[in-house]
């Protein structure tokens, strides 16, 4: 951004894609991370707002729950006002800003006000819907021409801005916003000569886990859509390529498509599991059940860090412990060289990865990713039974590891690298899904997630009888059983990827 743009402000129109948050461009994400103000629509995935700064001003201008949307004049005024204050404004729009997105009107308003703007294109719904339904809008064997048309206009009205005679004979015609007029659109195309046997498809909520696709012909598609209860937002595709979706459908065949999974982890750690489940087609709702907080006092850890050369081993039982320790190391003006001859142990692959990100390769990772296995492996690796071992852990860590090492003769110093706390609640989205019995699976990655989630669910009187618990390992499974819940899936090995795989296997087996 130029110095002139910085002083006068800048508006960037960003296409957020059609629904799947991963379809935004790299450039779009970059502008979101820098924005002072984000003005966004209803069809934008809420996940995209997670890229924004914590202090960014978020302004919703879409239509939701029967509320009237802001008028275009009001939106233009917001963009002009915020930009005139010298702020970086991202206008986040569903799909592409210049494809039925009124982006041209917005940049004209900015230009008339003498304000700077840029445009970042997005994946438009007409292309994405076909791709996620297995329908290529062009194919050298079937279609060399494609037209994108607004279906909002009623073909039965007295005059039309559309040349239906020309449209009817184009290879592929993609209609936006046309579900309410689907029957009249199909009738009009047949009236001007398009064959009734022409394949036609309707894709509702394209690219999202709630996507539904109906494929028929011009003669049958409106009845089929009605009987299936298809509702906006939806895309209509007419042409021979529409029939290819019956063979090439891939998205709705993903192993977890149509399943809703509630992910219970700390806010920071939920994203990796969520991404893996979403890749498999699940609708993922994050319900963090652990807040990660700093220790009440850093003094014990600081003292241990200043005496690192005294320890034979430093052991970490979670990524949070590793991150808390190395963050403190940095703040004390030290780096990984302070570990010197200290050997490092990690409870599992996730913790080992957190260490690698800090430039440290673990000397010991037990074959089974549990604190019990870590203790056994450490005891076997101790060169001296009186070796000093540093444990950087949670304030609520199970004391069994410390006790096992001390019984083996090791001198253990345990320091709190972070504290865990129960959030105030599960969050509106999670509660709403649980109350309408719309959750198929709940993932648990530690005993703490079990205890905290069940306490929060009890507070809100949530019935969990129809929900399947998925556990990351035997320790977590034991915590579930203490509350009378039998895991329907358990990870093997005890990793995030294996947890997702266990859910997929259970679904395939009909469990």
Same domain for 240 and 143 = yes
> Which range has the worst mean pLDDT, 58-67, 181-190, 202-211, 293-302?
58-67
Identify the pLDDT of residue 157.
61
Which residue in the list 63, 268, 310, 386 is annotated as catalytic? 63
Same domain for 312 and 454 = no
Same domain for 285 and 429 = yes
Tokens 């009249």: give the residue.
184
Same domain for 193 and 301 = no
The domain tally of the chain equals 4
Identify the pLDDT of residue 459.
86
Which residue in the list 20, 36, 41, 96 is annotated as catalytic? 41
CB 382 within 8 A of CB 408: yes
Asked if residue 393 belongs to a domain, the reply is yes
CB 370 within 8 A of CB 474: yes
Asked if residue 84 belongs to a domain, the reply is yes
Identify the pLDDT of residue 267.
57
pTM for this entry: 0.83
Higher pLDDT, 227 or 3: 227
Higher pLDDT, 35 or 290: 35
Over the stretch 199-226, which tens digit does the pLDDT of each residue have?
999 999 999 999 999 999 999 999 999 9
Of 101, 123, 145, the last residue of a domain is: 123
3-state secondary structure of 197: coil
Of 377, 396, 421, the last residue of a domain is: 421
Identify the pLDDT of residue 65.
44
Active site residue 63: yes
The DSSP secondary-structure symbol of 70 reads P
Indicate the pLDDT class of residue 427, thresholds 50, 70 and 90: confident
Average pLDDT for 113-120: 97
Q: What is the CATH number for 275? A: 3.40.50.10090
Asked if residue 117 belongs to a domain, the reply is yes
Of 421, 449, 470, the last residue of a domain is: 421
Asked if residue 446 belongs to a domain, the reply is yes
* Burial zone of 505 (CB within 10 Å; 0-12 exposed, 13-18 middle, 19+ buried): middle
Identify the pLDDT of residue 272.
80
> Which range has the worst mean pLDDT, 140-149, 156-165, 475-484?
156-165
Which two three-digit tokens encode residue 405? 């090492």
Same domain for 237 and 151 = yes
Q: What is the CATH number for 231? A: 3.30.950.10
The yes-or-no verdict on residue 256 having pLDDT over 80 is yes
Residue 412, phi then psi, degrees to nearest 5: -100, 130
The percent of residues in the chain predicted with pLDDT above 90, rounded, is 80
Identify the pLDDT of residue 170.
95
Which two three-digit tokens encode residue 417? 């690298």
d(CA 97, CA 386): 67
The yes-or-no verdict on residue 51 having pLDDT over 80 is yes
Over the stretch 477-511, which tens digit does the pLDDT of each residue have?
999 999 999 999 999 988 889 999 999 999 998 86
Same domain for 363 and 341 = yes
Over the stretch 372-409, which tens digit does the pLDDT of each residue have?
899 999 999 988 878 999 999 999 888 999 999 999 99
d(CA 500, CA 381): 32
Q: What is the CATH number for 78? A: 3.40.1010.10
Same domain for 306 and 247 = no
The yes-or-no verdict on residue 6 having pLDDT over 70 is no
User: For the CA atoms of 247, 511, 454, 483, what is the dihedral angle to 10 degrees?
Assistant: -170
Contacts of 395 (CB under 8 A, 6+ apart): 295, 296, 416, 418, 419, 420
Same domain for 429 and 285 = yes
Selection from 65-74, 141-150, 380-389 with the highest mean pLDDT: 141-150
The yes-or-no verdict on residue 231 having pLDDT over 50 is yes
What is the DSSP code string of 86-146? T-EEEEEESB-TTSSS-HHHHHHHHHHTT-EEEEE----HHHHHHHHTT--S-BTTTBS-E
Beta strands in 326-447 (DSSP E): 343-346, 388-394, 411-421, 441-444
CB 250 within 8 A of CB 225: no
Contacts of 141 (CB under 8 A, 6+ apart): none
Same domain for 166 and 118 = no
Identify the pLDDT of residue 151.
87
Asked if residue 1 belongs to a domain, the reply is no
Same domain for 462 and 356 = no
The yes-or-no verdict on residue 446 having pLDDT over 90 is no
Overall size of the chain counted in residues: 511
3-state secondary structure of 398: coil
What is the DSSP code string of 303-346? HHHHTGGG-SEEEESSHHHHHHHHHHHHHTT--GGGGTT-EEEE
Print the domain residue range for 282. 260-290+424-508
- Compute the 3-state secondary structure of the chain and give helix, strand, coil in percent, each to the nearest 5: 40, 20, 40
Which two three-digit tokens encode residue 148? 């994108």
Asked if residue 2 belongs to a domain, the reply is no
Instruction: Find, among 511, 449, 452, 440, the residue nearest to 476 by Cα.
Output: 449
d(CA 282, CA 277): 6
Asked if residue 156 belongs to a domain, the reply is yes
Identify the pLDDT of residue 152.
79
Same domain for 301 and 285 = no
Instruction: Find, among 339, 267, 263, 328, the residue nearest to 299 by Cα.
Output: 328
Indicate the pLDDT class of residue 67, thresholds 50, 70 and 90: low
Asked if residue 488 belongs to a domain, the reply is yes
The DSSP secondary-structure symbol of 359 reads T
Same domain for 396 and 378 = yes
Identify the pLDDT of residue 460.
87
């Amino acid at each position: 951004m130029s110095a002139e743009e910085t002083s006068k402000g800048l508006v960037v129109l960003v296409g957020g894609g059609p629904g799947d948050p991963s379809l935004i461009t790299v450039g779009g994400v970059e502008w979101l991370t820098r924005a002072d103000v984000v003005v966004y629509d209803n069809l934008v995935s809420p996940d995209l707002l997670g890229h924004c700064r914590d202090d960014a001003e978020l302004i919703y201008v879409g239509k939701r729950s029967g509320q009237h949307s802001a008028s275009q004049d009001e939106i233009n005024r917001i963009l002009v006002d915020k930009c005139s204050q010298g702020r970086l404004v991202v206008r986040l729009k569903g799909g592409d800003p210049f494809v039925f997105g009124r982006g041209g009107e917005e940049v004209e308003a900015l230009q008339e006000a003498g304000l700077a703007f840029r445009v970042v294109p997005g994946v438009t719904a007409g292309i994405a819907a076909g791709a996620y339904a297995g329908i290529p809008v062009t194919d050298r064997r079937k279609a060399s021409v494609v037209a994108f048309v607004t279906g909002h206009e009623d073909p039965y009205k007295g005059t039309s801005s559309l040349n239906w005679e020309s449209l009817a004979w184009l290879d592929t015609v993609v209609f936006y916003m046309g579900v309410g007029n689907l029957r009249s659109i199909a009738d009009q195309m047949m009236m001007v000569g398009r064959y009734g046997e022409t394949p036609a498809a309707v894709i509702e909520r394209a690219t999202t886990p709630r996507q539904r696709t109906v494929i028929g012909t011009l003669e049958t598609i409106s009845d089929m859509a009605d009987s299936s209860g298809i509702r906006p937002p939806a895309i209509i595709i007419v042409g021979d390529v529409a029939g290819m979706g019956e063979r090439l459908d891939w998205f709705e065949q993903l192993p977890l498509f149509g399943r809703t999974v509630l992910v219970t982890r700390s806010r920071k750690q939920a994203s990796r599991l969520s991404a893996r489940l979403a890749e498999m087609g699940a609708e993922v709702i994050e319900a963090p059940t652990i807040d990660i907080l700093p220790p009440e006092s850093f003094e014990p850890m600081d003292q241990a860090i200043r005496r690192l050369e005294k320890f034979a081993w430093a052991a970490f039982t979670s990524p949070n412990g590793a991150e808390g320790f190395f963050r403190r190391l940095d703040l004390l003006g030290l780096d990984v060289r302070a570990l010197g001859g200290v050997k490092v142990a990690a409870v599992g692959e996730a913790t080992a990865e957190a260490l690698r990100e800090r430039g440290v390769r673990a000397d010991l990772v037990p074959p089974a990713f549990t604190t019990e296995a870590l203790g056994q492996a450490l005891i076997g690796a101790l060169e001296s039974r009186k070796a000093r071992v540093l444990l950087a852990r949670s304030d609520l860590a199970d004391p069994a590891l410390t006790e096992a090492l001390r019984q083996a003769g090791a001198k253990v110093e345990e320091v709190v690298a972070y504290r865990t706390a129960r959030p105030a609640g599960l969050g509106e989205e999670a509660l709403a899904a649980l109350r309408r019995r719309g959750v198929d699976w709940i993932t648990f990655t530690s005993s703490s997630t079990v205890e905290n989630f069940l306490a929060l669910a009890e507070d809100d009187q949530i019935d969990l009888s129809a929900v399947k618990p998925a556990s990351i390992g035997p320790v977590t499974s034991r915590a579930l059983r203490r509350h009378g819940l039998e895991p329907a899936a358990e990870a093997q090995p005890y990793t995030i990827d294996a947890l997702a795989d266990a859910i997929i296997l259970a679904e395939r087996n009909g469990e």
